[in-house]
Amino acid sequence: MDIKIIASGSSGNATLISDSKTSLLLDAGLAIKELQEGTDFRLSNVSDCLITHDHGDHSKAVKDLVKRGLDVYASKGTLDKLSANGHRYHALTALEDLTIGTFKVMPFDVLHDAAEPLGFLVESTVTGEKLIYFSDTAYVKYTFQGLTHIIAECNHGEQELRQSVMSGVINPELAKRIAKNHMSLERLIDFFKANDLSRLKEVYLVHLSDNNSNEHRFKQAIQRVTGTEVYVH
Ligand SMILES: [Zn+2]
Ligand SMILES: [Zn+2]
């Protein structure tokens, strides 16, 4: 599985994955121009895009992608929020799988302040690899077998969030909202402990908060619990 994190964080999220036969865009929260640059101007090789939720940092380019002939998959709640309709938009239902090229995709529900947000389990029928992608969620209530690649939000650490409140960088209300809607390092560690990591090859940490994270500490902590290569974006 080839993975390219094009952008990550509250200013925009997009990831390109490929199993050599099918290329898929996961989230499109950038201007179309940035997406073209981020895919080395190979956006025409990408036929489909999965969107986790309607927030602009994940969905900004959706309409431009459709104009360029890509098909967009998201929950009905997300499509409604984006006022997206037409034959290139496809509504997903959590836990109902579908096939896109050589990928088998299983959407699953996550916890975030958006309409029907989703995460995605993506399995390649070419390589047998199994990737999970989730961003913007307080936690993941499901467990998975045989994951080989994990792209996960690791937004904040409990101690970093506390520190930001104490030093007045953010107010306590905002801190509460962040904790309720985004993945903490501590809850992500619990996720890894609950899942089968025997086939795991790579972990990508995404959507780190500017104010409430610590790249070095997060990387070390996740490396310790997974025993694999961890990339931070
Ligand atoms: Zn986001
Ligand atoms: Zn969001």
Question: For the chain, which residues make up each domain, given as ranges?
Answer: 1-126, 138-233
Question: pLDDT 10s digit of each residue in the chain, 233 long?
Answer: 999 999 999 899 999 999 999 999 999 999 999 999 999 888 889 989 999 999 999 999 999 999 999 999 999 999 999 999 999 999 999 999 999 999 999 999 999 999 999 999 999 999 999 999 999 999 999 999 999 999 999 999 999 999 999 999 999 999 999 999 999 999 999 999 999 999 999 999 999 999 999 999 999 999 999 999 999 99
Is residue 56 classed exposed, middle or buried when 0-12, 13-18 and 19+ CB atoms within 10 A define those classes?
A: middle
Measured between alpha carbons, how far is 199 from 6 in angstroms, rounded to an integer? 25
Q: In what order do the strands lie in the sheet with 130-134?
A: 98-100, 103-109, 118-124, 130-134, 149-153, 202-206, 229-232
Cβ-contact 103, 19 below 8 angstroms: yes
Measured between alpha carbons, how far is 148 from 27 in angstroms, rounded to an integer? 20
**d(CA 220, ligand 1 centre) in Å:** 23
Q: Identify the CATH assignment for 1-126 out of 3.40.50.300, 1.10.3720.10, 3.40.50.720, 3.60.15.10.
A: 3.60.15.10
**d(CA 46, ligand 1 centre) in Å:** 22
Six-digit token pair at 19? 């199993």
**How many CA atoms are closer than 13 Å to the CA of 44, on its beta-carbon side?**
1
Measured between alpha carbons, how far is 75 from 93 in angstroms, rounded to an integer? 6
Measured between alpha carbons, how far is 150 from 129 in angstroms, rounded to an integer? 11
H/E stretch holding 107: strand 103-109
Name the pairing type of β-strands 229-232 and 149-153.
unpaired
**d(CA 69, ligand 1 centre) in Å:** 25
Ligand nearest to the CA of 117: 2
**d(CA 87, ligand 1 centre) in Å:** 26
Q: What are phi and psi of 197, to 5 degrees?
A: -110, 15
**d(CA 11, ligand 1 centre) in Å:** 8
**d(CA 126, ligand 1 centre) in Å:** 30
Ligand nearest to the CA of 78: 2
pLDDT digits over 162-213, tens only?
999 999 999 999 999 999 999 999 999 999 999 999 999 999 999 999 999 9
Nearest C-alpha neighbor of 216 from the set 188, 187, 182, 185: 185
**d(CA 24, ligand 1 centre) in Å:** 19
Cβ-contact 129, 103 below 8 angstroms: no
**d(CA 60, ligand 1 centre) in Å:** 11
**d(CA 58, ligand 1 centre) in Å:** 6
**d(CA 181, ligand 2 centre) in Å:** 8
**d(CA 116, ligand 1 centre) in Å:** 14
* CA–CA distances in Å: residue 145 to residues 12, 34, 51, 185: 30, 35, 23, 21
Strands (DSSP E) contained in 34-102 are 48-50, 71-75, 89-92, 98-100
**Euclidean distance between the first and the last CA atom of the chain, given in angstroms as a whole number:** 18
- The 3-state DSSP composition of the chain as helix, strand, coil percent (nearest 5) reads 30, 30, 40
pTM of the model: 0.97
